[in-house]
Amino acid sequence: MTQKPIDILGLTCRLCVRLAAARGVPRPEAIAAYRRAFRTGRPDVDWISLPQVTIGESLAEGNTMKLGLTLGDGRETECVVLPQSSRTGRPRNTLCLSAQIGCARGCVFCQTARMGLVRSLTAAEIVAQWHTARFSLGTDISNIVFMGMGEPLDNLDEVIQAIRIFADHDGPAIPASRISVSTVGLPRSIARLATLAKEPGLRRLGLAVSLNAPNDEVRSRLMPVNRIAPMAVLREAMLAWPVGNRGRILIEYVLIPGVNDAPEHAKQLGDYLRPLKCTLNVIPYNPTGDLPWPSPRPEQVGRFIDRVIDYGILVKRRRTIGRSISGACGQLAGRRVGSGVR
Ligand code: SF4
């Protein structure tokens, strides 16, 4: 009986070599095929297969591209290619990946939350998003952020495997310092990810925490997760994160007028963040669907940022690229909210 080809995108090189050996493929040949799969896009051997992913609806705004991807079971997921310039001025592309189809976390400002959780993605399906952007679009990807659909820490085993593959020297070879996981803040899973971030080759893995509120009262209203993991517990988990000498945790704060942008909120936020080695990323709210809030005016954003800076916090403001293609934060939700399947 002929054996099924090995689906390579969910494997590190080491695992691929082991599975290939069981089929009588010599180690050097297995390593060479693995490298080809990740460096040219084509393994060119019949014992390896790439998962069936087809590009569906793709939208562009400027250089920002949202890719709809249809998976083997007909479900759809999405990823976004975000061009950014580096400090040296060289163009860089960040790939914003999905870890799930839909999401179970129910953050009220988030379009994806309305789908509920359809299913989690396998490591191969996560890596397939990179493979498609890299080889079907021909885009050089320098940075990876798990910030698309879903809560990555609700799919931690597969996300960890995907991180190992991205960082594999024989695979995409993306340094861990250019890979970042964004979470609503699940303390136990952050601790598990911290263990990964202490491994050789994976040090300086980035952590981003979607905070979005200055206190438990506001946060519990916006993010149900806060009712089981309040901000004090979350901060303990962040304090234990191995930031290293040059690292910082990224704290994301979607600024919603009339909800979390008051002067006293800036003070509470400053007090909460001061013990952390972090950068605050203020993201002007992107109006989505029928949610009641407008986006903040630039001067409202500026005033809030100035106040938080006065409390000694390092702040940066995110450009709202991708708004018209629903590729900005909290807006990845498939074409038909509530379905996720064609
Ligand atoms: S913001 Fe993130 S964690 Fe919250 S519902 Fe949306 S996708 Fe899920």
What's the 148 CA to ligand 1 centre distance in angstroms? 9
Q: In which band, very low, low, confident or very high, does the pLDDT at 312 lie, cut at 50, 70 and 90? A: very high
Q: Is the CB of 102 under 6 A from ligand 1?
A: no
Distance of alpha carbon 296 from alpha carbon 282, whole angstroms: 11
pLDDT at 166 over 80: yes
- Of the residues 80, 107, 209, which should be mutated to test ligand 1's pocket, given the most ligand atoms within 8 Å of the CB? 107
Ligand 1 centre distance from Cα of residue 211 (Å): 11
* pLDDT of 86: 66
Q: Given the CA of residue 111, which atom of ligand 1 is nearest to it?
A: 6
- Atom 7, ligand 1: which residue's CA is nearest? 150
3-state secondary structure of 252: strand
Residue 305 pLDDT > 70: yes
Give every CB contact of residue 20 below 8 A, 6+ residues apart in sequence: 6, 27, 29, 30, 33, 47
Q: Which residues in the chain are classed under CATH 3.20.20.70? A: 51-325
Tokens representing residue 265 in the block: 């909120």
pLDDT-wise least confident of 54-68, 144-158, 326-340: 326-340
If DSSP codes are grouped into helix, strand and coil, which group holds residue 214? coil
pLDDT value, residue 87: 67
One DSSP character per residue, 131-162 reads: HIIIIIS-----EEEE-SSS-GGGGHHHHHHH
Which CA distances in Å does 62 have to 29, 79, 82? 42, 16, 10
- Out of 75-79, 88-92, 123-127, 227-231, least confident range: 88-92
Is pTM, for the whole model, over 0.75? yes
If one counts every other C-beta atom within 10 angstroms of the C-beta of residue 181, the result is: 26
SS3 content of the chain, % helix, strand, coil (to 5): 35, 25, 45
Angle among Cα 206, 208, 211 to the nearest 5 degrees reads 165
What pLDDT does 318 receive?
61
C-beta 113 within 6 A of ligand 1: yes
Q: What is the pLDDT of residues 222-276, one digit of tens each?
A: 999 999 999 999 999 999 999 987 789 999 999 999 999 999 999 999 999 999 9
Task: Report which ligand 1 atom has the smallest distance to the Cα of 332.
Answer: 7
Average pLDDT, the chain: 89
Q: Work out which ligand 1 atom sits closest to the CA atom of 106.
A: 5
What residues contact residue 49 under an 8 Å CB cut-off, 6+ apart?
Answer: 4, 5, 6, 7, 8
Q: Is 45 in a helix, a strand, or coil? A: coil
Q: Using one digit for the tens of pLDDT, what is the confidence trace for 6-20?
A: 999 999 999 999 999
- Ligand 1 center to 184 CA (angstroms): 7
Mutate to test the pocket of ligand 1, among 101, 105, 220 (most ligand atoms within 8 A of CB): 105
Phi, psi of 296 (to 5 degrees): -70, 150
**Looking at per-residue confidence, does 325 or 82 come out higher?**
82
Residue 84 pLDDT grade (very low, low, confident, very high; cuts 50, 70, 90): confident
CA separation for the pair 103, 186 (Å, rounded): 14
Confidence of residue 333 (pLDDT cuts 50, 70, 90): very low
Q: How far, in Å, from the CA of 330 to the mean position of ligand 1?
A: 7
Measured at the alpha carbon of residue 102, what is the angle toward residues 93 and 48, in degrees to the nearest 5?
Answer: 60
Helices (H), 22-64: 27-39
Residue 100's SS3 state is: strand
Give yes or no: 329 in active site. Answer: yes
User: Is there an atom of ligand 1 within 6 Å of 147 CB?
Assistant: no
pLDDT value of position 292: 84
Q: Which atom of ligand 1 is nearest to the CA of 110?
A: 6
Question: CATH number of 51-325: 3.40.50.300, 3.50.50.100, 3.20.20.70, 3.40.50.2300?
Answer: 3.20.20.70
For the cut 50, the answer to whether the pLDDT of residue 296 exceeds it is yes
Q: How far is the CA of 208 from the centre of ligand 1 (A)?
A: 13
Q: pLDDT band at 319, cuts 50/70/90?
A: low
Question: Does the C-beta of 154 come closer than 6 Å to ligand 1?
Answer: no
pLDDT, greater one: 52 or 19: 19
Q: Which atom of ligand 1 is nearest to the CA of 183?
A: 3
Ligand 1 geometric centre to CA of 122 (Å)? 18
Is pLDDT of 335 > 50?
no
Which of 78, 125, 151, 252 is flagged as catalytic? Answer: 78
Q: How confident is the model over 111-131, as a mean pLDDT?
A: 94
Active site includes 76? no
Candidates 13, 16, 103, 329; catalytic one: 329
